[in-house]
Structure 1
Amino acid sequence: MYLPKHFSAPSDEALLALIHRYPFATLIASLPTGLEVNHLPLSLQAGRLCGHLARANPLWQHWQQNASAQVVMAVFHGPHAYVSPSWYPSKTQRGKGVPTWNYVVVHVQGQLRLIEEADWLREHLRVLTAQHEAEFEQPWQLEDAPADDIEQMMQVTVGISIEITQLTGKWKVSQNQPLENQQGVWQGLQASEASHARDLAAIVQAVNGLNGK
């Protein structure tokens, strides 16, 4: 990933917080047939990313034939939004400015292993469900489904565990702009009706230390 120093993530804590808040990942692996790309939720547990795949997935079929762990890349996207040059006061004053895109993203490289143990898979599904049901008034639990349905689902599912070997992030949130333009970007994003733009506005404000005016 192209990563100018001024766009580096603010801290390791910020990387982990983004993974927790935006757990839906793009998982990229290199197979003999070419790149294999999957999209799935991954939960961060004790320095590992945990998830599951359908046994019909070519990624599982490849790993089943290759017992050793192999390197994969998981990409987590945070909020992102178009940035209009009309938000830059400098554009009005000097006529200079071009559009861009602001975003935050985390790349996780690691060693993927398959996990066939039924107890591990059941606990993973329980934890994953609890994490995402927590915001609901009456959270659904794994035990709410008929036991035979859960057993049938588990038979066609396999667990995966990714041991993290490299963690990098990019916070492209107008750090390369003068203060007046940062303020303009923050205000422009904040005025948007799109929730992801407003979420990004909060990051622009925090990273660049902007006041609340």
Structure 2
Amino acid sequence: MFLQRVFASDDLRRLDALIDADPFVTLITSNDDGTPIATQVPALYRRDGNEVLIEGHWARANAQAAHDGKLALLIINGPHAYVSASWYPDKIEQARVPTWNYCTAHLHGVLEGFDDEPSLIDLLARTSARFESSVGGDWRFDPDNPAERVQVRGISGFRLRPTRIEIKDKLSQNHPHANRQAVIARLQQQDSNGAHEIARLMQQTLENNDDAT
């Protein structure tokens, strides 16, 4: 990731918030010939201090399911919003240009695959519990139902314990206070949840800076 210091964060609570808000992540690997493979997958996340664990599964037929013991990149996409140069009070004298504000995290590590039935059953049980509760549903994987249990044969699981975590919050921190306030105000007027969330995070960052001075 192109990560300028002004936008970098080492606060793992930001990682917690990003994946809690959007646990549908992008997992990127490469074949032996260097061909990249990317899969969008729902992920289960756990953190104990600085130790992070990501778990998920693919269809067994997915070529990425054979990627065991090799490096992988997992991308968590956060909120984002377009920023017009016309919003900056100093747009003329500073020759400002448009940009995009966003939040993301890149997790690098060795991918560990697994396909034993007990581990897959446990993963499916935890996955259904996590995501059903988020939509008010009550479906649960039932391993005692032969029609459901047989479907375990069609998937393969993975674990990723990141050895490097990059968190980027690009929230106009490189702009003067007046520009940041102007962008917040204009984002709050947009008809977009992403714009509103970026405005909220920009305001939070401003307040944290004020508290530190």
Question: Which residue number in structure 2 is paired with residue 177 of structure 1?
Answer: 175
Asked if structure 2 preserves the Cα contact closer than 8 Å seen for 1:83 and 1:100, the reply is: yes
Amino acid at match of 1:125: L
Contact 1:20 1:43 survives alignment (8 Å) = no
Distance in 2 between residues matched to 1:118 and 1:77, nearest whole Å:
31
The aligned runs of 1:97-108 (5 Å cut-off) are: 97-108=96-107
Structure 2 stretches of 5 or more lacking a match? Answer: none
- Which one of the candidate residues 186, 189, 192 is aligned to 1:191? 189
3-state SS of paired residue (2:96)? coil
Is there any run of 5+ residues in structure 1 with no aligned partner, and where? 64-68
- Secondary structure of 2:134's partner? coil
Q: 2:56 is matched with which residue?
A: 51
Local SS of the residue matching 1:164:
coil
Measure how far apart 1:44 and its partner are: 1.1
Give the CA deviation at 1:139.
3.1
1:147 aligned residue (141, 145, 169): 145
User: Displacement, 1:76?
Assistant: 0.5
DSSP-derived class of the 1:150 partner: helix
- Quote the residue 1:161 is aligned against: 159
2:198 pairs with 1:200: yes
1:27 is matched by which residue type in structure 2?
L
**Counterpart AA for 2:201:** I
State the 1:204 CA deviation. 1.2
Number of equivalent positions: 204
Matches within 5 A, 1:14-93: 14-33=14-33, 34-46=35-47, 47-63=52-68, 69-91=69-91
Shift of 1:152: 2.8
8 Å CA contact 2:190–2:196 kept in 1: the answer is yes
The aligned counterpart of 1:128 is: 127
Asked if the contact 2:29–2:67 (Cα under 8 Å) also holds between the matched residues in 1, the reply is no
Structure 2 CA distance, aligned partners of 1:172 and 1:129? 33
Please state how far the C-alpha of 1:187 moved relative to its aligned partner: 1.2
| 1:115 and 2:120 are equivalent in the alignment | no
Considering only aligned residues, what root-mean-square deviation do their CA atoms show, in Å? 2.1
Bigger CA drift: 118-127 or 100-109?
118-127
Distance, in Å, in 2 between the alignment partners of 1:70 and 1:122 is: 24
Q: Deviations over 1:137-164 (max 9, x none)?
A: 4433224x99233223211001111121
Instruction: Please state whether the residue corresponding to 2:90 is helix, strand or coil.
Output: helix
Aligned residue type for 2:84: S
% identical equivalent positions: 31
- CA displacement at 1:110 relative to structure 2: 1.1
- In 2, distance between residues paired with 1:28 and 1:137? 31
Partner secondary structure for residue 178 of structure 2: helix
* Conservation of the 8 A alpha-carbon contact between 1:79 and 1:200: yes
Could you list the per-position Cα deviations for residues 85-106 of structure 1 after superposition, in whole angstroms to 9, with x for gaps in the alignment?
Answer: 12212226x4732100000010
Q: Distance in 2 between matches of 1:173 and 1:10?
A: 15
TM-score, normalised via structure 2 length: 0.87
What amino acid maps onto 2:117 in structure 1?
Answer: A
